[in-house]
Amino acid sequence: MIQNKKSQSHEPYAPVTKNPLLAARLPKWRSTFVLLLVFAAFASLAGRAFWIQVVNQHFYVDQGQKRYQRTIELDATRGRIVDRHGAMLAVSLATYEVWASPKLIEETAIAPLSKLLDLPVSDLRRRLVGDKTFVLLKRQVDADTAARLSKEGLVGITQIADSKRFYPEGESAAHVVGFTDIEDNGQEGVELAANEQLLGVPGQREVIRDRLGRVVLDIGPRMPAHNGDTIHLTIDRRIQQLAYAQLKDAIAKHHAEAGSVVVLDARNGEILALANYPSFDPNNRARLTGRQLRNRAVVDTFEPGSTIKPVVVALSIDEGKVRPQSIIDTAPGWYRIGPAVIHDTSNHGAMTVAEAVQKSSNIALAKLALNLPAEKIWSKYQEYGLGLRPELTFPGVASGKVRPYKRWRPIEQATMAYGYGLSASLLQIAQVYTAYAGDGTLQRVSLLRQQKDSGEGSAQAAPSTDPQQRVTTPATARSIRAMLEMATGVGGTGRAAAVEGYRIGGKTGTARKQIGATYAKNRYRALFVGMAPMSDPRLIVAVMIDDPAGKAFYGGTVAGPVFSGVTGGALQLLGVPPDAPGV
């Protein structure tokens, strides 16, 4: 027993590392690999943190802000369009857009929504079907309807402030003012020509929204919107209404296809009225057609007929070829030029130059034209603005056409003198007569107050010149005025244009309509252009009635009475005193 204990006491202990229970079962290199892998993971995390928080910090900050920070655009109100006295021609009214969250709309809300928004129930249900979170139900809802909708307190309905363009003058000024589309961008007329000034500049507001989209905080200074400018026109809405009413009645009376009236201030060329028929209601364009949309006074060109005769008469006087009392023989009522024959309405025999204008003799004007160089006539037409686009801030302004003089044959040179072989718009013809209303200075037409620069368009524009250009002498202008007054008196072609209490002057025109390459039988444009009062001309009024289908078709008979009605009413509206003898 003792020996056994002794022997046990001297026996050494076995090493721990050699204990089979504690011995490693995996190779040493694997633990080293795991340690390196953990170190690499921490290194990549540190690198990623450095990349996000230091190198690319601004990108991730911006991305985060986009989740809760918004820039709200503050709409600018479209500017107003007013007449020369400040009367509204176009204004933006407050309206609303109605949006819905389909998932929040209850069945009981369908009926009141349908009634208030004037939408069929089936249409309303169709819009609310689907996975969309926000659906537009209706735009341009008026303020009264929006207020009634708010009182209903319907869950899931949101109203967003909007605006709608309103045109107080309706049909009478439609072609002047034009209209906008549903996005408030100009489409026609002044709305298009002055679109940039009318639009204004939107503002901005930086805000923070919560998860429901509600604004909870402004985080930056608000940049207010700058509303559009107010556009002041030369139009007088009273004269515009008068011109439109007179034109509409005349077209109905003579069963005509269409017509136009232009009224100018004779002193400066400002457009006081520009009326067309057929017209349209810019507040309700559901059934608008191209025929209604055409601004005929500006975009339509046609052969002006006898209304252009004063130009060649004035040129002949200025060149010293004739005087107002010079005699021209027009017998026997026809005149042959090569194979062509020119006719007057009757045999006037020998007549003075003044009487040739009074009775509108084609033969007399042909002889005057053939006594002048073709280049001289062409150059003078250019000076009057014929064949050149009027310097007018307005879309679609036509230039008309005067063919190069080198291509004129003798018969064409003759017909140019009485308005065939060239084309012009009614606005251009009215502009011509501004030279005779004063001292021989042509007044360029304008539509915007204190602005006579050229507008947009691809048509040829007149050279940039002073708004006033001398085209004839003061003495010749006085002579032409006297002839125009004779034309509206006893023995003249424009007696139906007379205005009670006022001396007037003007020129009739009856131009055959060209259909294709030939002139149509029994289809005409009836024209009258004149001025009043003759003691000191204040107004120039040009009238065109297209294709009258009744018994009457002459310019004096059809267009003359329109001139009378427009001129007489406009002179009274402007407070111009009568100047007729005995008044």
Identify the pLDDT of residue 168. Answer: 95
Q: What is the pLDDT of residues 324-340, one digit of tens each?
A: 999 999 999 999 999 99
Distance of CA 112 to the CA centre of its chain: 40
| Phi, psi values for residue 436, rounded to 5° | -90, -15
Q: What is the pLDDT of residues 110-156, one digit of tens each?
A: 888 888 888 888 888 888 877 777 788 888 788 888 888 888 777 87
CATH of domain 66-99+163-233: 3.90.1310.10
Q: Give the pLDDT band (50/70/90) at residue 6.
A: very low
Identify the pLDDT of residue 17. Answer: 55
Mean pLDDT value across the chain:
86
Identify the pLDDT of residue 501. Answer: 95
Q: What is the pLDDT of residues 474-523, one digit of tens each?
A: 999 999 999 999 999 999 999 999 999 999 999 999 999 988 778 888 89
pLDDT beyond 80 at 72: no
- Where along the chain do its domains lie? 66-99+163-233, 237-573
Identify the pLDDT of residue 416. Answer: 94
For 92, the enclosing helix (H) or strand (E) is strand 88-100
Q: Is 538 left (phi over 0), alpha (psi -120 to 50) or beta?
A: alpha
Preceding peptide of 467 cis, ω within 30°:
no
Mean pLDDT of 3-25: 55
Identify the pLDDT of residue 308. Answer: 96
The two structure tokens encoding residue 261: 């009236």
Q: Which residue in 92, 306, 316, 360 is the catalytic one? A: 306
Residue 306 annotated as catalytic: yes
Mean pLDDT of 414-423: 94
**507 - beta bridge partners?**
529
- 438 or 59, which is more confident? 438
Identify the pLDDT of residue 50. Answer: 82
The two structure tokens encoding residue 493: 């072609």
Q: Give the pLDDT band (50/70/90) at residue 215.
A: low
Buried b (16+ CB within 10 A) or exposed e, 394-409: bbbbbbbebeebeebe
Q: What is the pLDDT of residues 36-45, one digit of tens each?
A: 888 888 888 8
| Phi, psi values for residue 390, rounded to 5° | -55, 145
pTM of the model: 0.80
Identify the pLDDT of residue 325. Answer: 97
Instruction: Give the range among 1-10, 160-169, 440-449 with minimum mean pLDDT.
Output: 1-10
Identify the pLDDT of residue 45. Answer: 87
Identify the pLDDT of residue 158. Answer: 79
- Any idea what DSSP says for residue 389? B
Identify the pLDDT of residue 176. Answer: 96
d(CA 75, CA 226): 9
The two structure tokens encoding residue 405: 């003089």
Cα distances (angstroms) measured from residue 178 to each of 194, 273, 285, 291:
11, 14, 11, 15
Identify the pLDDT of residue 457. Answer: 36
Query: Strand, coil or helix: what is 428?
Result: helix
> Of 3.90.650.10, 3.40.50.720, 3.40.710.10, 3.40.980.10, which CATH number belongs to 237-573?
3.40.710.10
Q: What is the pLDDT of residues 218-258, one digit of tens each?
A: 666 677 778 899 999 999 999 999 999 999 999 999 999 99
Contacts (Cβ under 8 Å, ≥6 apart) of 47:
none
pLDDT beyond 60 at 464: no
Identify the pLDDT of residue 317. Answer: 97
Identify the pLDDT of residue 463. Answer: 41
pLDDT beyond 80 at 8: no
Q: Which residue reads 């939408």 in tokens?
A: 119
Q: What is the pLDDT of residues 269-313, one digit of tens each?
A: 999 999 999 999 999 887 888 888 999 999 999 999 999 999 999
Q: Give the pLDDT band (50/70/90) at residue 85.
A: very high
Cα distances (angstroms) measured from residue 462 to each of 190, 218, 374:
20, 53, 21
For the chain, how are helix, strand and coil distributed in percent, rounded to 5?
40, 25, 35
Report which residue type is found at 205: R
pLDDT beyond 50 at 460: no
Q: What is the pLDDT of residues 162-204, one digit of tens each?
A: 788 999 999 999 999 999 998 889 999 999 999 999 998 877 7
Q: What is the pLDDT of residues 519-562, one digit of tens each?
A: 888 899 999 999 999 999 999 999 999 999 988 999 999 999 99
- Any idea what DSSP says for residue 120? -
